[in-house]
Amino acid sequence: MHSFTRIAGEGCPRVRLLKASSFERQRPRCLTGAAVESRPTVNPTSVDCQRREEFGFDTFRGTLGSRSRRRRLDGRKIVVRAVWSDGKVTDATPWALYEVRDEQIAEVNESGHIEAVRSGRTAITVTFMGQVNAVTVTVPFQTQAVAEKFETRTFIDRLVAAEWKKVGLSPTAQADAATFLRRALIDITGSMPTTEAIRSFLKSTDTNTRDKAIDSLLERPEYVDCWSTKWVDLLRVHRRYLGDKGMWSFWGWVRNAVRENRPIDQMAQQLITSKGSLFANGATAFYYVDKRPEELAETTSQVLLGIRLQCARCHHHPYEVWSQEDYYGLANFFTRIQIKDNGDGARYGGTKLLRPVPNIPKERRLRIRSQALVRAFGHDADPTTSNDVRVELAQWITKSDNPWFARNVVNRYWAHFMGRGLVEPVDDLRATNPASHPELLTALADDFVKSGYDVKHLIRQICRSNTYQLDAEVAPKHDVDGMFYTHHKFRRLPAAVLLDAVNQACETKEEFDGRPTDTRAQSLPDPQIPSYFLTTFGRSVRNSPCECASSNAPDLTQALHLINSEEIQSKVAAKKGRVTRLTSSKLSTEEIIEELYLATFGRLPSKAESRTASQLITESEPWQLGIEDFMWSLLNSTSFVFNH
């Protein structure tokens, strides 16, 4: 562990983290308004942006990763300058703490010197007397890769390709038509393509067929199911918080917003400023899921801004500039509301009425000494000048120049389509967790704002890019983690998507308690409805406003369920299922194999695959059992269980 020594000096220190070479070009300005005390008061708006260190191609000789081969270049050093409140500037480098996010890419010693370990990109967090910032370190791949022909069709392609050039990488080839269609359907609608749709798409000679497919998918009812599920997971639509009627009200509000393509800024404003009856206005459920002002502050910050404030509840955030003052300042926006019974309570099962009030009710007072501060990350508000101070918060959050709101939204959508966010985790936007492609994140956010916060526009921009349409194949040791987006990432299908895919492939229907037999897993209102399959495959339990409430990580239990469960076998052999229908038809073995490939993998089999499958099926007794076994093997393959 690094040691830390306090520097004695006059006034209160403010820290800027700068590259040694850039310090003279950009002098840090003295920050004002700081109290003279041992620990500086943090002003988040004054924290500077990250600086980037990039090693050249000629930096290293030999194999990176061997300690004897590593090199430390002159000037590749982090310099920390402390600007004190009396105007003095001192070198704080020897007393700062350094922490590398990924030590497999780079290391840093106590004096701030950086050593490269292997090719890639990581961030180094620097801490000094409560001030934090990050330096991004990029170590290019040692030799320029042979570039594939890549058409930079959109601003996304141009910015991603620029990074490839910097680090010496080239992309894979474009995914074929069948792969693209399956990928786009899963990502946009959460469903698989039908065999008829695949054949039609493959026959099309229209050069604009992919763009037209994207537009068509955005208008399908499954799109509403898919994206409503994403949002109700984040907003925690659940009976445990809302009861039956409240759950349906909130669920319906979210679905209507997605169906109407309601701009995200309007959705955010309606949630924050909601009032009235829970049953009449589903958005008011936002205040029933989280009841305490502190909880509402944490959820608002994490879901709408991508900022995790939880640490600042008790102490200064160790990896950010946020303090308890920021935490409780945001919580104070939610103190001047009241939830009371209304006259319809007895008739409708106890509905309540939410309304703003001028004074803080006793039950909503914060347990801190300062009650007067109403502040959102440096933006102060005066509750005495407004009938509802939440309106000012909603306007500030959704303002076009808010540094977090648009970035948070586009980063979440980018992660959904590309397999990883430009910032990871997606709900942890902070100075010490810089974006892998900051210029791209800014460009996406700016374009999103200009579109009027149009989600469908954002989806079109991502899916129409050639970056999104790259193949998933990747050469060994070639951007394996996908940070530079040189290839598409393999991702296990989400629980509800996978269950719906199994039923579609087998032509079976799921039976959920209390729901019609044709109900899709993605249209379930909350996780209270039991399903061993959905639980096993990590559906969201909606107990946290975090993407981590659900899991798409594969594990042994999931594999065993697909291999051994009666549930899967009964779907494969269902009397009214696909296998029974095909084996009862006049189709040949080869034609049945083709149909099953289309139904599961979304593509036609190669000649070798068809020949091997035909041989195995022909050797089976009885023949239909061979078809069932073949279908079972397809459902257990990564090509089916994963999106790619």
Residues 310 and 336 in one domain: yes
- Structural domain tally of the chain? 4
Indicate the average pLDDT of the chain. Answer: 85
The residue from 382, 397, 412 where one domain ends is: 397
Give residue 367's pLDDT band: very low, low, confident or very high (50, 70, 90). Answer: low
Residues 390 and 510 in one domain: no
* Nearest of 387, 355, 359, 391 to residue 277 by alpha carbon: 355
Ranked by mean pLDDT, which of 257-271, 461-475, 615-629 comes out on top? 257-271
| Total residues belonging to the chain | 644
Give residue 300's pLDDT band: very low, low, confident or very high (50, 70, 90). Answer: very high
Whether the predicted pLDDT of 557 surpasses 80: yes
Domain that holds residue 584: 495-643
The residue from 445, 471, 492 where one domain ends is: 492
Residues 454 and 340 in one domain: no
Instruction: Give me the percent of the chain exceeding a pLDDT of 90.
Output: 63
pLDDT given at position 29 = 32
pLDDT given at position 314 = 72
Residues 431 and 317 sit within 8 Å (Cβ to Cβ): no
Whether the predicted pLDDT of 75 surpasses 60: no
> For the whole model, what pTM was predicted?
0.88
Contacts of 353 (CB under 8 A, 6+ apart): 276, 277, 339, 340, 341, 342
Over residues 623-636, mean pLDDT? 97
Whether the predicted pLDDT of 21 surpasses 60: no
pLDDT given at position 142 = 67
Whether the predicted pLDDT of 40 surpasses 60: no
Does 47 reside within a domain? yes
SS3 115: strand
Does 155 reside within a domain? no
pLDDT given at position 326 = 86
- Top pLDDT among 195 and 110 is at 195
**Strands annotated E in 140-218:** none
Does 160 reside within a domain? no
Give residue 2's pLDDT band: very low, low, confident or very high (50, 70, 90). Answer: very low
Instruction: Specify the DSSP element, H or E, that contains 400.
Output: none
Residues 549 and 579 in one domain: yes
Does 237 reside within a domain? no
pLDDT given at position 478 = 77
pLDDT given at position 26 = 33
Whether the predicted pLDDT of 36 surpasses 90: no
Does 232 reside within a domain? no
Residue type, 551: S
Residues 393 and 448 in one domain: no
Residues 425 and 468 in one domain: yes
Whether the predicted pLDDT of 52 surpasses 50: no
Does 157 reside within a domain? no
Whether the predicted pLDDT of 347 surpasses 90: no
Ranked by mean pLDDT, which of 44-58, 64-78, 237-251, 330-344 comes out on top? 237-251
Residues 256 and 368 in one domain: yes
Residues 22 and 110 in one domain: yes
- On the 0-12 / 13-18 / 19+ scale of CB atoms within 10 A, 68 is exposed
Residues 638 and 502 in one domain: yes
Residues 163 and 437 sit within 8 Å (Cβ to Cβ): yes
Residues 580 and 630 in one domain: yes
C-alpha distances out from residue 575 to 303, 429, 595, Å: 45, 51, 18
Residues 195 and 599 sit within 8 Å (Cβ to Cβ): yes
Whether the predicted pLDDT of 145 surpasses 60: no
Whether the predicted pLDDT of 425 surpasses 50: yes
* Nearest of 464, 434, 429, 425 to residue 447 by alpha carbon: 464
The residue from 139, 166, 195 where one domain ends is: 139
pLDDT given at position 143 = 57
Whether the predicted pLDDT of 366 surpasses 90: no
Residues 508 and 633 in one domain: yes
Residues 126 and 201 in one domain: no
Lowest mean pLDDT segment, chosen from 43-47, 501-505, 632-636: 43-47
